[in-house]
Amino acid sequence: MDTTQIPSTVQLLPNRAALASALGNEVRWTILKELTCGEPRMVSELAKIAGLRPDAAAKQMKVLLAAGLVVQGRGLLYSIPKQYLPQPGQPVVDFGHCLLRLDAGQ
């Protein structure tokens, strides 16, 4: 067996540096909180919730996507990967390196 291959049962965590960088923005926190509902959202929906123009929201989604915190599915819908949502519908995301409570301090 090639020991350089990762077994398919292992779930990779987001890169810590990319995670830390992506989380350093209040708008991205707002977007992630919305996505904790477990339902995919379009950029235009996320823009409205975050109070942004769609092009500005798309830039924020690119950061989250590049960091591996969201995925883009069919129809250009964004969502948080299911393995990071311990309880869909709750504003909590477990990225392995950190547990985000997106409603804390509000």
The model's pLDDT over 21-67, given as tens digits with 9 standing for 90+, comes to: 999 899 999 999 999 998 999 999 999 999 999 999 999 999 999 99
Backbone angles phi, psi at 42, to 5 degrees: -85, 155
The residues with which 8 forms a beta bridge, in sequence order, are none
Tens-place pLDDT, residues 73-89: 998 999 999 899 988 78
CATH fold of 16-101 reads: Arc Repressor Mutant, subunit A (1.10.10)
Instruction: Specify burial of residue 43 (Cβ count, 10 A radius: 0-12, 13-18, 19+).
Output: buried
Strands 99-101 and 92-94: antiparallel
Domain boundaries, the chain: 16-101
List for the chain the helix, strand, coil content (%; round to 5). Answer: 40, 10, 50
Predicted confidence band of residue 3 (pLDDT cuts 50, 70, 90): very low
